[in-house]
Amino acid sequence: MPDLTTGGVHVNKLLTNVGLRWKNLTWIADQCCPIVPVKNKTDLYQSWHKSPWFRDEARYVAAGASAPRIGLGVTLTDSYQCITYKAAYPLARELKANADSELQIQARAAELCTNAIMLARERRVARLFEMTSDDTQGTIWTKYTTLSGTNQWSDFTNSDPVTDIDTGKASVEDNGGGLLANTCIMGVAAWRKLRRHPVITAMIFGGGAPGPKVVTPALFGQAFEFDKVLIGRGQYTADEEDTDESGITYSNIWQKHMWIGHVTNAPSVLEPSAAYMFREFYKVRSWYDDDTDTDFVEASESIDEVAVSADIGYIIENVVA
């Protein structure tokens, strides 16, 4: 009589408590551009003139005399225009009926569509914060500098990131009426070099500090008085899917630049911020197509990313080689 074997008493099935699912976990777009909910796809927003709030116009007047008249200025021609982005995944009824429940195939499809919307948003915001101009907005950030050669922070001997960053901070403060640069944004390639730069480690830990000197975003932000230090770590691929993914290449969404500026934590009509995202809607839905006997899962949003206050942003381009 044959003995029992492990293969004879167990039929392989999918585990429910472990699996492999890849996704970007470090989106920063919403922290760079606060979201402003809007009702219409396109509209105007208020741009109050800066100078009246800094003009010294109060005067001594004698008893009974009239106060000097002062004025406000506002531009009502600046506009946003929301564009709709969508991503949908088809789920044939036959496939759904045959899929193991452990796969949770419809939930994975919804996550994939949502991820596609967020990835596209991240890439658009990265381009907004890393370019001095583009074809749609024209000039974006007018205050910037470009590093090259020995000035790049990958040259630990000759470069001086502290002076470069302080220059950017001063530009924001001087052009923003004393408004402080509270946010620093950079790609992960820049951060990997910057956190090891001897000028930075000496500034934070002191030149003679013993042991390993590990600079964290929190320590870096404290040293330069940034409320937020955002490291863009997201990746994307432009390659078509293949069977074993052996030929897929991945690129960093955020490039080798640093952006310094002021980003508000509380969007409002009178609150300056370098950029806003105007969003009409974001939604996930599903529907059934009778002709193909297929369920579709779709994520979509209508949104526009706008640099609304270029004076309070500063770009350091090509910070590392």
Please check whether residue 1 lies inside any domain of the structure.
no
Q: Cα separation of 213 and 195, whole Å?
A: 9
Cα-Cα-Cα-Cα torsion 108, 113, 119, 120, nearest 10 degrees, comes to: 170
pTM exceeds 0.75: yes
Domain containing residue 98: 29-48+74-237+252-317
Query: Cβ distance 121 to 87 under 8 Å?
Result: no
Let me know: does 315 contact 259? Beta carbons within 8 Å: yes
- 245 in a domain, yes or no? no
Cα–Cα distance, 262 to 220 (Å, whole number): 17
Cα separation, 190 vs 204, in Å, equals: 18
Cα-Cα end-to-end distance for the chain: 72
Residue 5 lies in a domain: no
274: helix, coil or strand? Answer: coil
Domain membership of residue 280 (yes or no) is yes
Rg (CA), the chain: 26
Q: What is the pLDDT along the chain (321 residues), one digit of tens a residue?
A: 455 444 443 343 433 443 344 556 689 999 999 999 999 999 998 888 888 878 888 989 999 899 989 888 888 888 999 999 999 988 888 777 666 565 577 888 888 999 999 999 999 999 999 987 666 666 789 999 999 999 999 999 999 999 999 999 999 999 998 999 999 999 999 999 999 999 999 999 986 656 677 899 999 999 999 999 999 999 999 888 766 777 889 999 999 999 999 999 888 777 889 999 999 999 999 888 888 888 888 999 999 999 999 899 999 999 999
- What tokens does 250 get? 């991945």
Question: Has residue 288 been placed in a domain?
Answer: yes
We report the CATH number of the domain holding residue 297 as 3.90.1690.10
187 in Cβ contact with 259 (< 8 Å): no
41 within a domain of the structure (yes/no): yes
Q: Largest alpha-carbon pair distance within the chain?
A: 118
Element housing 313 (H / E): strand 313-317
204 domain residue, yes or no: yes
Contact between 156 and 198 under an 8 Å Cβ cutoff? The reply is yes
277 in a structural domain: yes
Contact between 185 and 267 under an 8 Å Cβ cutoff? The reply is no
Number of domains in the chain: 1
Who's near 65: CB < 8 A, 6+ residues apart?
none
Reference 271, options 41, 32, 46, 54; nearest CA is: 46
The confidence score (pLDDT) of residue 10 equals 38
Residues 80 and 194: their CA atoms lie apart, in Å, by 36
